Amino acid sequence: MKEEDELLKKCGTKNPFMVPEGYFDNFSKELMNKLPEKEQASTPQETITTWQRIKPWIYMAAMFCGLMFSVRVVVGPPKQDTPIFTAAETEQFSDEYIETILDHSMMDDYTLYQYLTDANSDMYN
């Protein structure tokens, strides 16, 4: 606090920056007079060809094709999580193996029969 009071006594509260009187009255006119004259260059109108008109669209389509291809290469082909067995592969399982699986799955005969009949009806619809 004391330091601020001392600075105020030394310098005072008056603004030291001043602008001459009437400086901004004609400022815009003087500035415009000092600028060089702009030459009006008359350039002939260029005709836009069809290729110039569709070129950005072609480039954008090529970019998206390249992007899709690179994502496909990086990600790779889709992999199936669940194995799908063909009829020949399912015949390889022995009846004992299937019975063991059914015993461990806690499925009784009625539930198995109901499951198989529902599967057959869904297959024909």
User: What ranges do the domains of the chain cover?
Assistant: 48-76, 92-124
- Count the neighbouring beta carbons within 10 Å of the beta carbon of residue 122: 8
pLDDT of residue 120: 57
Q: Under a CB-based contact definition with an 8 Å cutoff, are residues 102 and 112 in contact?
A: yes
pLDDT of residue 83: 64
Mean of the per-residue pLDDT values for the chain? 80
Higher pLDDT, 120 or 59: 59
CA separation, residue 32 to residues 2, 20, 26, 45 (Å): 50, 20, 10, 30
Over range 87-115, report the average pLDDT.
Answer: 73
pLDDT tens readout for residues 18-71: 888 888 888 888 888 888 887 776 777 888 999 999 999 999 999 999 999 999
pLDDT of residue 90: 64
At residue 82 the predicted structure's pLDDT band, cuts being 50, 70 and 90, is low
pLDDT of residue 69: 94
